[in-house]
Amino acid sequence: MGKTNEKKRDFFWLSYSDLMTSLFFVMLVLFILVFSMQNKLIDDLKNSNETLIAAKEELERIKEIEKTVNNIDKSYFRYDSINKKHILNMSFLYPTGSNDITQIVPDKRSDLIKAGIAIKNLILKYPEEENIKYLVVIEGQASNDGWNGNDDLSYHRAQSLVNLWKSNNVGLDRLKNCEIIIAGSGVKGVPREYPDTPPANQRFLITIVPKIGEMRK
């Protein structure tokens, strides 16, 4: 009888030992699993935080550049904060239907060249190595003078301004970090001056968009 009880006790402790060993391995596996998941979560949070910090720094840099753009030489530009455009501080009395910029009086042509140089100096303020690009939209407008071809005419007037800059070595088209878009809004663009009679709205609007990164064409 005593030997039977002793065998039962031995079996109990052996089973108990096996159970504890099994539980230990289960807990060990769970610990390793939780530890691995926790490390992955920490790494993911760290990467997300680094991404947010980089995005914040880039946003602040863009704001700084935009502030510089908006403060471009006020001798030639005024900034329209509503439409995000720079307006040349001059109007031009073109003959009806003409886009010949040489027909503008000489002092106005001189100011147009200086305005182009002001844009160039702005772009050159940040070296190409900083990976800052600029999209410069040259937009022509026209007076509501009843001319049927004002949409095309305003485009060709903007093109004539770019050609004037080229022929006077302003060279925006040669800057690697600058892309020029020529546009014409005719009598439909914004903003517009009223009353809309010549020379009102015979002018150029300049949109300068700074961008950090590659310029995709």
| Residue 134 falls inside a structural domain | yes
Residues 92 and 183 in one domain: yes
Asked which of 29, 50, 70 is the last residue of a domain, the reply is 70
Taking the mean position of all CA atoms in its chain, how far away is CA 143? 31
The one-letter amino acid code at 16 reads: Y
Q: pLDDT per residue over 74-96, tens digit each?
A: 888 888 888 888 888 877 777 77
Residues 95 and 146 in one domain: yes
Name the residue among 120, 126, 133 with its Cα closest to residue 76: 120
Between the alpha carbon of residue 146 and those of residues 70, 94, 96, 121, 163, the distances in Å are 34, 14, 9, 38, 27
| Residue 217 falls inside a structural domain | no
Predicted pLDDT of residue 50:
74
Give percent of the chain with pLDDT exceeding 90: 17
Predicted pLDDT of residue 9:
59
Predicted pLDDT of residue 55:
72
Residues 142 and 90 in one domain: yes
Name the residue among 86, 83, 103, 107 with its Cα closest to residue 94: 103
Residues 42 and 99 in one domain: no
Domain tally, the chain: 2
Mean pLDDT lowest for which of 6-20, 90-104, 189-203?
Answer: 6-20
Model confidence at 217, in pLDDT bands (50, 70, 90)?
very low
Residues 206 and 114 in one domain: yes
Asked which of 70, 89, 122 is the last residue of a domain, the reply is 70
Residues 80 and 65 in one domain: no
Handedness of CA 153, 158, 159, 165 (dihedral sign): positive
Residues 20 and 121 in one domain: no
Model confidence at 13, in pLDDT bands (50, 70, 90)?
low
Predicted pLDDT of residue 159:
93
Model confidence at 71, in pLDDT bands (50, 70, 90)?
confident
- Residue-number span of the structural domain to which 63 is assigned: 1-70
| Residue 206 falls inside a structural domain | yes
Asked which of 25, 47, 70 is the last residue of a domain, the reply is 70
Give the separation between CA 147 and CA 67, rounded to whole angstroms.
Answer: 38
| Residue 146 falls inside a structural domain | yes
Q: pLDDT per residue over 92-150, tens digit each?
A: 777 778 888 887 767 788 889 999 999 998 888 876 656 778 889 999 988 888 888 88
Q: Which comes out higher in pLDDT, residue 67 or 193? A: 193
- Average pLDDT for residues 12-25, to the nearest whole number? 71
Model confidence at 213, in pLDDT bands (50, 70, 90)?
low
Residue position matching structure tokens 């106005």: 108
Give the separation between CA 96 and CA 153, rounded to whole angstroms.
Answer: 10
pLDDT at 16 over 70: no
Q: For residue 184, what is the domain's CATH number?
A: 3.30.1330.60
Residues 89 and 106 in one domain: yes
pLDDT at 35 over 60: yes
Residues 18 and 123 in one domain: no
Residues 117 and 152 in one domain: yes
pLDDT at 216 over 50: no
Residues 56 and 143 in one domain: no
Residues 49 and 132 in one domain: no
